[in-house]
Amino acid sequence: MCTAITYQSGDFYFGRNLDLDRDYGERVTVMPRKFTFPMKCMPDLCEHYAMIGMAVVAEGCPLFFEATNEKGLSMAGLNFPDNAFYCKVEKGRLNLAPYELIPWLLGKCATLSEVKEAVKELNIVNIPFSESVPLSPLHWIIADKSGSLTVESMSDGLKIHENPWGVLSNNPPFDYHQINAEKFNLFKAPLPGDFSSETRFLRAAYLKEKSSPKESEDESVGQFFRILSLVSVPEGCVVKNGKPHFTRYSSCCNTDKGIFYYNRCGSFKIKKADMHDYDLEGKELLIPEST
């Protein structure tokens, strides 16, 4: 269970709630331009755009939940169980494992237009990071200030959707969410109040469309976190297989400035990390101390 949104308020903002049943030890992580990201089927990613986001670092490799690159392009992976389908390697295609999508696309692409060209050859392959880190069933939202895309690899093929809402949640697939949002009169009908993916999508779309731009950075970031708070999941409200699923953290990145804001479950304090405070020409991952 997760919700991602975009928000234009002077600068462009991108972020999400991460709703899971456990903590994975995720940290704010800066991947500088010369960090070597090892790839399964493609040449290792050695020189690329720098990026900042929330990641689990496994065997020295950042597995990003979401990130923004230095050009202002952002991407997040959200849980997509029972619908995600990954493929065999195909010669001549852009064969990427699910965990490689964020670093490769944000590393190689400066704009959403470039992403649209790159994903024409995309083949998301059924290769885990390691035996101890299995595949996660995901779909993705990719955005910059020009718009948003949703990418879904399903049993009937790869789906690339223009996302006019700038919002993504979980199951069902995006085309259902879009039809549902178009049918649901967001501005006249009472919004449902449960924590289902369909409801969170509708509520997030309504809230971001109704939210007016703010004058200052503090006001814009505050408004972004208020929107996320209204689609967050309190602990104890959703239980699956005997385990509570709730919002572990919320994030908001000013994509124009490369400033990553976040707060964790149980705290209203918003912390931040500015990617430009670090050596973006380096070869080693950077973990801001405040995380």
pTM for the complete prediction?
A: 0.95
Reported as a single tens digit per residue, the pLDDT across 86-132 is 999 999 999 999 999 999 999 999 999 999 999 999 999 999 999 99
Q: Tell me: pLDDT of 12 over 70.
A: yes
Using the 8-state DSSP alphabet, how is residue 100 labeled?
G
126 token code pair: 């059924």
CA distance 167 to 224: 13
Q: 193: Cβ–Cβ under 8 A, 6 or more apart, which residues?
A: 199
61 in catalytic set? no
Query: If you average pLDDT over every residue of the chain, what do you get?
Result: 93
